[in-house]
Amino acid sequence: MDIASLLGIISGISLIVSAIFIGGDIHNFINIPSMMIVGGGTAATTFLTFQFKDVYAAFKAAYFVFSKDKEEPNDAVATMIRLCYISRKQGLLELGKIKTKSGFLKKACGLISDGSPEHVIRAALSTEIESLKMRHYIVQDVFRKMGIYSPAFGMLGTLIGLVQMLSKLEEPSTIGPSMAVALLTTFYGSLLSTLFFLPVAGKLKSRTIMEVINLEIMLEGSISILENNNPITVYEKLSSFIPERSRQPMTSMNLRELP
């Protein structure tokens, strides 16, 4: 589980709820019509903008933000070094028999074992990486758009509340409560945007960057195995993708299992 994401959402909600309790009654911040305007309006415009499968994929990806730890580049480097040892001892053809959960790595091993030249391997794997970036961009864009739509519907709900309030000016006692209700929609829209939608979009973007780095490591590792399957040379080349202070020494890597 991603502790940072869980800690962020819990601390954010806790601080806001605590501030509400300290300042007054939490029931003053609950209004069903305002929730309907913000929640329903945001959902409607999101489905109008994107296909249902894209929205479903976005929320599925958001679940993984909280449930899965990020993949470490050091693990990807260790995987490629392990493949180096296999190819060096048993030959490149043995890589075609590798069993792994990673479709990208399986494809890379298949291309190497088939004797594909460097430019073919690089082109095929680069296309996979670019396709992944585009798919992930759509997923991130769902939450970015929701982060834009929710405050807009919050303002729309506030305008509706103000119109209703102005229509009852002959009753001064209702102006205060009506104004409070009108402002709640802006509160809901801003809350959803700043605490949920935009942070999730940012987290998904950071995960995409990390995943792309891992795939680039596998790509360059595959080319290195094809050109020169010396594990030390491959390690020195691939470790350049990782900040120096975060690099794991080759001697301490787990080279027994593939992902």
Q: What percent of the chain has pLDDT over 70?
A: 95
Angstrom distance (rounded) from CA 55 to CA 61: 10
| 189-194-195 Cα angle (round to 5) | 100
Condensed to tens digits (0 to 9), the pLDDT of residues 91-136 reads: 888 888 888 888 999 999 999 888 888 899 999 999 999 999 999 9
Kindly report, residue by residue over 163-220, the tens digit of the pLDDT: 878 877 777 776 766 777 778 889 999 999 999 999 999 999 988 999 999 999 999 9
* Percent of the residues in the chain that have a pLDDT greater than 90, as a whole number: 38
Average pLDDT score, the chain: 86
Task: State mean pLDDT over 230-236.
Answer: 86
Is the C-alpha dihedral spanning 88, 89, 92, 97 positive or negative?
Answer: negative
Task: Identify which has the larger pLDDT, 161 or 187.
Answer: 187
Q: Which of 251, 253, 202, 224 is nearest to 112 (CA)?
A: 224
Domain coordinates of the chain in residue numbers? 1-30, 32-252
Q: pLDDT tens, 186-201? A: 999 999 999 999 999 9
pTM beyond cutoff 0.75: yes
Give per-residue pLDDT as tens, 25-43.
Answer: 777 788 888 889 999 999 9
